[in-house]
Structure 1
Amino acid sequence: MRAVRSTLIAIGGALILAGCAAQTPQTRVTRFHLNQPIAPGEVVVEPRDPTLAKDLEFQSYATIVQGELTRLGFGAARDLTKSELVAVTDVRRYSQPVGQARSPLSIGLGGGSFGGNVGVGGGVSFPVGKPRQNYEDITELSVQLKRRSEGTVIWEGRAQTGARSGTAAAGPEAQVRTLVAALFRDFPGRSGETITVK
């Protein structure tokens, strides 16, 4: 009995670990640049869509991007209109279904056996509610480092990640932080190479 119980516990633990591994978000990252040194300087983060310049949600994303650029040695520009470097940033979010819809809960009604050697049995089950569909929240981030004076893009990065809807990892800021950390890892990265970061 103890052996069976230990086996069940081990199997249960393995299933839990497998489930956690399956839920670990992965981030796909691609970078492009001119294969030339990028000298750090003062930079300002601006939205690709100018109408979002004063949007509070974008400002929260811009703060995350600026924080990572600061860590890399790019200072935040005080005079936004005269900064030589601009980090043009775009964030897009959407949801998509994952796998097949789960079957609704079933309630079963069953019969037992009666009498000595005579058995009568039967059962019926019927669904309750509608099938449930799981969704994944996807966030895509793109950042272009440009020279304001000439408009040249000296570095560009794109990243995408996803997490099950309703989880902490699927929150907008949580996903943007994940994307920014992956995007600027080993900056500037290999141009044209797509990597997966866990």
Structure 2
Amino acid sequence: MQMKRHLKAILASAAALATLSACATVPRAGPAEVTRFVAPAATAQLGQGTIFIETAPGLGNSGMEMAAYKAAVARELAAQGYRETSRAEADQVAQVSLERVVNEPLTGRRGPVSVGVGGSTGSYGSGVGVGVGINLGGGGPKDVVTTRLGVMIRDKAAGTSLWEGRAGFFADTRNDLAQPARSADALADALFEGFPGRDGETIEVDLPE
């Protein structure tokens, strides 16, 4: 009986060491790369009033995954002073876009490494794009997920863009931050850090472990 207990203790220790070793080999995610564009004279309109949150036009994202990102954006907008309401009652509209790309190092297949944000060649409001480059290195042969979250805040009555932002990062598929629920919170938090931010500035924001 004593030998059996001793054997169980050895097996338990080995399992614990294996778990620790597996955790230690998973690279950290991020940091998130964040770019914001602020329309001239829009600062007074940002962070107040009513807002409606919707999926950006032309996107096929739907279901639980997109819902997680929209919910995370809603929490951040509320923290900035907005009150979420129906589209009919809203003064402003936040359009949320999402892109998730899996890079497969062993097969050589990879998704795009940049995505359009803000205005063409650095100008504001065209929606065409300054590329935000995301390093897909990540280290090691495991698959890497790159996730990009974009938000455009518009004046509902005028239809003009008041603010645009895009945040993206890469994570090993074994990392918890590769999962939609975790990445939604992390990206929304990074995107609205220091809101509204400086027009055209790109910053890096460390992600939680």
Q: TM-score, normalised by structure 1?
A: 0.67
Contact between 2:26 and 2:175, CA under 8 Å: does it hold in 1? no
Go from structure 1 to structure 2 and tell me whether the alpha carbon gap of 1:24 and 1:62 turns closer, same or farther (over 3 Å shift).
closer
Other-structure match for 2:13: none
| Shift in CA distance, 146/135, structure 1 to aligned 2, threshold 3 Å | same
CA distance in 2, matches of 1:22, 1:53: 28
2:28 equivalent in structure 1: 23
C-alpha change, 1:151 and 1:140, in structure 2 (3 Å) is: same
| SS class of match (2:68) | helix
Pick the aligned partner of 2:89 from 58, 82, 86: 82
1:146 aligned partner: 154
CA 22–38 in structure 1, closer or farther in 2 if over 3 Å, else same:
farther
State the Cα RMSD in Å. 2.7
1:3-152 matches, cutoff 5 A: 22-36=27-41, 37-39=43-45, 40-49=48-57, 55-77=63-85, 79-98=86-105, 133-152=141-160
CA distance in 2 between partners of 1:53 and 1:80 (Å): 19
- Which moves more between the two structures, 163-172 or 45-54? 45-54
**Structure 1 unaligned regions, length at least 5:** 1-15, 102-131
Indicate the larger mover: 149-158 or 22-31: 22-31
The number of equivalent residue pairs is: 150
* Shift, 1:148, TM fit: 1.0
Instruction: Give distance in 2, aligned partners of 1:92 and 1:158.
Output: 11
Work out which of the two has the higher radius of gyration on C-alpha atoms and give 1 or 2.
Answer: 1
Q: Give 1:59 shift.
A: 2.1
Kindly indicate whether the alpha-carbon contact (under 8 Å) linking 1:33 and 1:191 is maintained by their aligned counterparts in 2. Answer: yes
CA distance in 2 between partners of 1:51 and 1:171 (Å): 20
% identical aligned pairs: 27
Determine if contact 1:52/1:58 at 8 Å carries over to the other structure. no
Give the superposition deviation at 1:41.
Answer: 1.0
Q: Distance in 2 between matches of 1:140 and 1:35?
A: 25
Unaligned runs of 5+ in 2: 1-20, 109-139
SS in 2 for 1:58: helix
**1:62 is paired with a residue of what secondary structure?**
helix
Contact 1:46 1:53 in 2 (8 A): no
Equivalent residues of 1:53, 1:59 under 8 A apart: no
The alignment's TM-score, normalised by the length of structure 2, stands at 0.64
